[in-house]
Each structure stands twice: as structure tokens, then as C-alpha cells.
Structure 1
Amino acid sequence: MPQRLTAALLVLLLLCRPAAAAELDGARLAWPWALPFAGILLTIATGPLLFKRIWHHHYGKFALAWGAATLLPLALWHGWPAAAAAFIHAALAEYLSFIVLLFALYVVAGGILVTGNLRGTPLVNTVLLAFGTLIASVVGTTGAAMILIRPLLRANEHRPSNAHVVVFFIFLVCNIGGALSPLGDPPLFIGFLRGVDFFWTTQHLWGQTLAVSVAVLAIFVAFDVVLSRREGAAGNGADINLQVHGLINLLLIALIIAAILGSAIWKPGIVFDIYGTDVELQNLLRDGVLVLIALLSLWLTPDEHREANGFSFEPIREVAILFAAIFVCIIPVLAMLQAGPDGPFASLLAAVTTPDGQPRNVMYFWLTGALSGFLDNAPTYLVFFGLAGGDAERLMTTLAPTLAAISMGAVYMGALTYIGNAPNFMVYAIATERGVPMPGFFGYIVWSVVILGPVFVVLSLLGV
């Protein structure tokens, strides 16, 4: 049924004449147009927790309902051509490349299997967390989490207290470690699609990311050493015997990086106008290559490797459906943000701007971060990117501290809750299934506020 409704909606939109299409004027929109966006984010946040069974079977219908609640009123109030143009722009200019990269990284990382014997001493746990943090910006936070969470759980299954290891794993591997490249975390790839250079975050955030990672890792070491000594496990030593299978996927990850860099460097100037949206040839080829790489991974990796990793397509399918709705629901929100002081979000703009028009970078950091933790960091990044003007060239130069604050807030504070970043809840579910007594939703927030809060305050005081 949802597929039929979606097809009917697409037909109605595409029957409109392109010549009649016009951009949405955000100054003419009012704040109620943001309700579907708030609705889809709140549904995603509460669905898996409050009505898990219903959500699991019907999340696609929820997504379709919120998407329709955005597009149909837009078509009725502003005309089908304007709604169609906005929808096609969101689909082709934003969503398609975003989900193709996530799909490629998810499939390729799912073919890397780490096996062997590890004993979860403070030293071994620290090495695993540090390694996961290091590779998160290369294979993505989801990829790094799926590669390492099961070896980490096996290493610590003998310990009476092991939930803290998973909590710090979510902090570091699922979030903070992904701050150095568009491959690392979805919000940064959205920035890349918006024109931010591939290595911009590497150049501008490496110092802050290193400092935050070392601080959080140091807290973990102190915590784990104390618990290990109480358990009498500190002197047992570590039995290290690791094997990595599916090494062909490391080469495929290198090809993913090459494809993305190639699309940023090679600009033939060939552009296809699809209902008012410019689609560049290099981006089409990049997305095609990424899909091909994912298919190669499926073909070249033995099925038993993915089975041992518990690999399935359901998580990426859920992400694809939900983010399709998010990218549709955010259409009027972005239009209103682009209206600046003339739009309905003028008060939000005033909160992050000084009276003389300069950005308050600390406010950008904390507002982006707080909303990323309780909603989702990718659309939150997109909102504040737009609030800061949406001009990638200016944000990378004149407003570089502002872009850095938005990027750090979105990535680092995605760790504040289980729902701030996609791999957080996936790791929570895997750990709970393995019998780890993980803290509940609010219990985890206490952990994150107590551990991460002071680190972020110090980062703010030092100058975001």
C-alpha cells in the first residue's frame, strides 16, 4: 500500500509542467510548516522505545504519512509545480548521493570479520576503543561499530561489569571518531554534498577531535582500571589472537574514497537539468561506482563472513526509508531558514548571532549538539548549515569557526542519547541481545551528561 501511494504521488508531481515550477519563498511560509519535520524526528526518536513492535512493522507507513503531510499541503497552497520541483531537488541533489554512500559503506564494512581470542583487560579495551575511533572517519561510524562491537563484547563477556565498555564505545567509535571526513558521519557527508571540501574537517577539526578523544579515552581508562581491580581481573593478562577476514573489502573502501575524491576533482562541466535541478555528470558516475563497489563486496565476500557479523539489509533499509521522509519534511524548513531575518525563524537566527551580525559560535555548537542528541544529527546539521547562510565557500573561509562549531556539535553530541546517531541504537540492541545490562534511555543520558558534558564545556571555554 505505501508503495502504491508513493507511486501515485510521484505521478501527480511529474505531470506538472517544469516551466511553471518556482522556488518556495520561505518568507511567505509560517512556522506550522515545520510540524511534519518535527513530527518525523519525534516519531523516529520515540517509536523504537515506546511502541517497538508497531514501529518495527510499520515505520515505512509512518515515514510516508509525514512525507505526504509535507508535500500535499505544499502542492495545494503553492502549486504542484513548486512542490514537484522541491521534491525532485531534495531527491536528486541531497538524498540520492547521501543514501548511496551509506549503503556502500554499510555493505563493504559488513564484509570485514574480526575473530580471535581477546581478554577484556583495560589495555585491550583501550586499544580496541582507540582503534575504532581511529578508523571511524575512514569506514564510517556505522562501519567501525559493526566491525568491532562483537569482538569487544566477546572480549568482555567474562566480566561482571561490562556495560561501561559499550557506553564508551558508543561515545568514541559511534560518534566522536567520525569527525574527520565526510565518510565518517552522515552530517559531514551532507556538508560535502553542499560544497564543503572533502578534507576540510580533517584540516580544521583534527586538533579538537584528538583532544576530545584523548580526554574521553583517559576517563575510560581510569574507570576501567578501577572496575577491573575490583573484579580481580587486572593481573590476568591479555590473550591476544586476532584474525581479520574479508580483507578485499579494505581495498573496496579505498575505492570508495577514490570515487568521492574523484568526483570532487574531476568537473567536466556536463550538467543535466531535471525539472529545475542541476545534476552533474561526475556525481552520477560517483554514485554508480559506489553501487558497483557494494555489489562487488557482496560477490567477493564469503556469505559466512556476513553471517558471523549478523549482517542483514534491514538496518540500511530502515535508514533509507526514514531519511527519505526526513529529506522531504525538511523542504519547507530549509526554505524558511534561507529567508533569514525575513523568515519565521528570525528569533533562532538572533540567538546565534550578535547584534552586529557576527555568529555566536558557542551557541551554534551547543544548539546543534543538543538537537543532534535528541533528534538526529544529519538533519540537525543541515538546519544549522542553512541558518549560517548555506554558502559552503563562505563557511569554509570567512565563517570557518562557525562551520567547525556546527560540525563538532552535530558529530560529538550525537553521542548524548541512543537516538542521536544511527549506530548508537544498533550497538545498544546488539549488546542487549548478548546479555549486557545496558542502561536505559534516561540512564544512558546520565552517563553521557556526566562523562561528556564536562569535556564539551572545557572545549567551549577553550574556544570552539
Structure 2
Amino acid sequence: MNNQFTFSLISLLTLLLLPFKLFALDFEGQDLSILWGIPFVGILLSIALIPLLLLRFWYCHYGKIIICWTLLFLLFTLYSFGLQTTINLTVHAIIVEYIPFILLLLALFTVSGGILIKSNVLSTPKLNVGLLAIGTLLASIMGTTGAAMLMIRPVIRANRNRKYAVHTIIFFIFLVANIGGGLTPLGDPPLFIGFLKGVNFWWTVKHMLLPVLFSSILLLAIYYKIDCHYFRAQYGNTLTLTSTAKANYIKIYGVSNIFLLAIIIACVLMSGIWHSSVNFTVLGTHIALQNLIRDIIFIMITLFSMLITPKQVRAGNEFNWEPIIEVAKLFIGIFITIVPVLAILRTGSHGALAPIVSLVKNEHGQPINSMYFWISGLLSGFLDNAPTYLVFFNLASGDATILMNILEKTLLAISMGSVFMGALSYVGNAPNLMVKSIAIQNKINMPSFFSYMKWSVCILIPVFIIDNLVFFLLF
């Protein structure tokens, strides 16, 4: 992708080839101190603080900063557990977790960047609500990343004459990049993990429909009031909220990429439904045939999309690789350094995070659904939400049949928390950072990490409190 990313990968590979003794100890969560989370927290704080203090330095060197935290974790692992364990952890994190993740994002980013929606529409509050609603619906059909990458440019283009569009992008992240993906297992990785574990596709649709609809309507109503305020501030009371330029045309270019999007969705489903007995082993990590085929198809789709899409279409979208490069650099460090944090979480009441995990059950061992909602959600706002979902899925029962019937409220709480609260921070879900990057390239002055969280805390937390009351306390 560029020299920094290549340097990062070479550094990791070099570390793994150092002539340390090959003893191997089990990397067990119950044996790990909370201090093992320092590199991961260091990455989060770097993302949050360095752009505030040294913006130019961050954008020139953020890849090197991420690799420094990653190497710190790997050196401590090497010292404590030996080379073999370090290799196994790193290879598993990269091959099983990171590569499928980044290849899916790359394919969606490339294909959606080849679809150009041109119009002379200028935004009004009603139009913006409509665009956000369409994106929210699409998120459950084509995934939050696909919908976000498809819709973000038309939304930015529609708001090109607005002096203040930051709030629109923030609500876009809330709705399209997160909450909208809650309706089906196709929408967001946590729900797809549940689908793979035996949660019925239509169970998710049936039980998540009302929470997604309820939360989306609340947020769209809040957004409408805010957008009306900024609209009137710019245009004054002499203009009605529907009187700006009406659409004379809406044209879609790069239609062939829409079919490629459908193939991507089919590949994701295929990898979850088809379970081949054939697998390969790389440095102790097992790779299933269906996953290998899926990832190869993602690469082929990426290349094919670049070949068939006219350059004018990508130029019209102001397409470039920087958003996916930024996500690739940040998340390779996150995926590696998050390993001990998730390992501690998986040990439940036997690990260093036992005081937090124990909050989800009462003294009789019965689940407290409100706490499942809040804790799985708050952790998903800063950790990878798919493994976080899996941790609490297994903590609640681990049996999809029991969870869908006897503990359906608990499964609903885990599902809502893991999907909805990915919007709490930029790192809660990968599309959040990609949307931010595209907005910045389009001269929209996006808030910093903590400034974004002011929006999310002030707007989302009250919505989630209402969700908690409606779905877990009152009924």
C-alpha cells in the first residue's frame, strides 16, 4: 500500500525470525494480568490524543506509531511465552482475523467506489433524513461497510452547499455504519457470528426489527431537529425547508459494480453456510477451504472492479486508497494487541476482568439482561465487536437453541449492545474510520476522537437508556 505499511509488515516478520529459544507456553487468559492490555490501550490513546496535539506528525507517522505498540506487545509475549507462542498468536491474528477482515473491506471499498451516483440535488432536512433512512435500510442488506461506502459520497455531494455538514456525517456513522446493520446477520459481524453459531436467520430479523426501527426513528427525529436548526441558520426563515433546488436528474454510473456487491454478499453467506472438511495449516493456524475461496474471490472482485470501472467514474467519486490504507494500518495493530484483552474476557469470572464480567449475572446465576446490553455494548464500542459478542454469547449459555427460546431477552441484549454501541467511538466499527477519512478528504472538518465521543455520549447514550427501559426493564 505504501512504504510505512510495508515497513510495518517487515518489522513483524523480522521479529518472528529472531533466534530466540523455541519454548512455548500456553497463552491462557486466567494467567494474564490486566497490564497485558497496555499496548492495546496505547493504540486507542494514540488514535485519540496524538491527532489533537500533533496532527501533522500523526498523519505522517501513524503507521510507525501503531507498529511500535504492536512490537512492544510482541516483545513482551516473546519474553514471557517464547517464540513459538508468539508466532502462533501473530499468525492466527493476521491470517484468521485480520486478512479476511481487510480483504472484505477492500472489496467493498473498491466496488462501492466504482458506483457513481450523480444528481443536482441540494440537501434539505427532509432530503437528508431520506438519504440516511435509505442507508440505514441498505446496511442490513449489504452490510454496514457496503452501505456506508455506497451512500457516503452521495450524502456528501448532496450537502456540498451546506456550511455545516459535520452533524450529518456523525449521524451517518450512527445509523448507516452501525445501528442499521442490526436487522439481519448480513448487516454486522456480531450477528453473522451468531448465525454461524446456530442463531436462526429469521430469529434475528424478528427480534431485532423493533429495536432497530425504534432506535433509527428516534435518531432520525433528533437529526431532523438539528439539521433544521443549521439549515435555518444558513438560509434564514425566508426559505421553506423544502424550497431549495429540486432534483432534475439522478444518474447512476458503474452499474456493473452493483452485481459485484451481490457476489460479495453471496460469498459471505457461502463461507458461513458451507463447511468443507478440507483445511490447511499454516504455522499452527487452520484455514478452512471455504474461507480461503472466499478471500480469493474478494481479491479477484477487487481487481475486476478496477479493470471494468471507467476512470471517469472513480474520478467523479474522488476515489483514492487513503481511507482503506488508514484502516489497514490501524487495525493490524488493533487485531494483534487485542488478543490478550479478549483472552482475559473469555475466561469470564476467572480472569482479570472478572469484576466486570460478574455484573451480568445476579447472586442466583440468572442473567441480568440490562447489564448484558450495557457491558457487551460498551466493550464493543472500543474492542472488536464480533469476538466481544462471542464472549458474552458463550457466557450466557453458548447454546443457540437455549438462547433463542429460554434466554431470548439475553440474546437480544447481547445482539443490540454489540451492534448499536459500535457507534460510540471511531474504532467501534471499521466503517466509522473510513467514513471519517472520506469526509475529511471532502473538506468536512470532522471532530477528533474525543469530540466525536461528545456527540455519541450526548445523543446515543440517552437513546440507549430508552432502549434499555423499553426492551429490558418495562416489558
User: What TM bracket, shorter-length normalisation?
Assistant: 0.7 to 0.9
Q: Closer, same or farther in 2 for the Cα pair 1:249/1:47, shift >3 Å?
A: farther
Q: Per-residue CA shift, 1:109-148, capped at 9, x if unaligned?
A: 1111111111322332222111111112334434433433
Match of 1:286 among 294, 297, 300: 294
* 1:274 is the counterpart of 2:274: no
* 1:452 is the counterpart of 2:452: no
* 1:405 is the counterpart of 2:413: yes
The letter for the 1-side match of 2:294 is R
What is the alpha-carbon distance in structure 1 between the residues aligned to residue 102 and residue 58 of structure 2?
21
What is the alpha-carbon distance in structure 2 between the residues aligned to residue 267 and residue 346 of structure 1?
35
SS of corresponding position for 1:272:
strand
**8 Å contact 1:105–1:140 — kept in the other structure?**
no
Match in the other structure for 1:86: 89
Match in the other structure for 2:120: 117
What is the alpha-carbon distance in structure 1 between the residues aligned to residue 337 and residue 200 of structure 2?
27
Match in the other structure for 1:67: 70
Q: Closer, same or farther in 2 for the Cα pair 1:147/1:49, shift >3 Å?
A: farther
CA drift at 1:26 = 1.9
What RMSD, in angstroms, separates the aligned Cα atoms of the two structures? 3.2
* 1:10 is the counterpart of 2:16: yes
Q: Per-residue CA shift, 1:290-314, capped at 9, x if unaligned?
A: 1111111111111221222122222
* 1:49 is the counterpart of 2:52: yes
* 1:234 is the counterpart of 2:241: yes
CA drift at 1:269 = 0.9
**8 Å contact 1:108–1:249 — kept in the other structure?**
yes
Match in the other structure for 1:246: 254
Where structure 1 has 5 or more consecutive residues not aligned to the other structure, the ranges are: none
Match of 2:131 among 114, 128, 137: 128
The letter for the 2-side match of 1:265 is I
SS of corresponding position for 2:17:
helix
SS of corresponding position for 1:278:
strand
What is the alpha-carbon distance in structure 1 between the residues aligned to residue 309 and residue 300 of structure 2?
14
* 1:32 is the counterpart of 2:35: yes
SS of corresponding position for 1:389:
helix
Q: Name the % identity.
A: 45
Q: Closer, same or farther in 2 for the Cα pair 1:44/1:364, shift >3 Å?
A: farther
CA drift at 1:248 = 0.8
CA drift at 1:88 = 2.1
**8 Å contact 1:396–1:403 — kept in the other structure?**
no
Match in the other structure for 1:382: 387
Q: Which moved more, 1:108-117 or 1:343-352?
A: 343-352
What is the alpha-carbon distance in structure 1 between the residues aligned to residue 397 and residue 322 of structure 2?
34
What is the alpha-carbon distance in structure 1 between the residues aligned to residue 449 and residue 94 of structure 2?
33
CA drift at 1:458 = 1.4
Structure 2 counterparts to residues 82-231 of structure 1, below 5 A = 82-159=85-162, 162-181=165-184, 183-185=186-188, 188=191, 201-225=204-228, 228=231, 230-231=236-237
Q: Closer, same or farther in 2 for the Cα pair 1:147/1:274, shift >3 Å?
A: closer
Q: Which moved more, 1:278-287 or 1:190-199?
A: 190-199
What is the alpha-carbon distance in structure 1 between the residues aligned to residue 392 and residue 197 of structure 2?
14
What is the alpha-carbon distance in structure 2 between the residues aligned to residue 195 and residue 414 of structure 1?
23
SS of corresponding position for 2:364:
coil
Q: Closer, same or farther in 2 for the Cα pair 1:280/1:400, shift >3 Å?
A: farther
* 1:342 is the counterpart of 2:322: no
CA drift at 1:243 = 0.8
What is the alpha-carbon distance in structure 1 between the residues aligned to residue 425 and residue 346 of structure 2?
29
Q: Which moved more, 1:65-74 or 1:178-187?
A: 178-187
* 1:315 is the counterpart of 2:320: no
The letter for the 2-side match of 1:363 is M
Count of matched residue positions in the alignment of Structure 1 and Structure 2: 458
**8 Å contact 1:13–1:83 — kept in the other structure?**
no
What is the alpha-carbon distance in structure 2 between the residues aligned to residue 271 and residue 251 of structure 1?
29
CA drift at 1:255 = 0.5
Where structure 2 has 5 or more consecutive residues not aligned to the other structure, the ranges are: 1-6
SS of corresponding position for 2:319:
coil
Structure 2 counterparts to residues 353-372 of structure 1, below 5 A = 353-372=361-380
CA drift at 1:257 = 1.2
**8 Å contact 2:189–2:385 — kept in the other structure?**
no
Q: Per-residue CA shift, 1:234-287, capped at 9, x if unaligned?
A: 252651221111111110011011112222222231122333322211111111
Structure 2 counterparts to residues 409-424 of structure 1, below 5 A = 409-424=417-432
CA drift at 1:69 = 1.7
What is the alpha-carbon distance in structure 2 between the residues aligned to residue 297 and residue 173 of structure 1?
23
SS of corresponding position for 2:327:
helix
SS of corresponding position for 2:183:
coil
**8 Å contact 2:27–2:85 — kept in the other structure?**
yes
Match of 2:311 among 300, 303, 327: 303
Q: Which moved more, 1:298-307 or 1:229-238?
A: 229-238
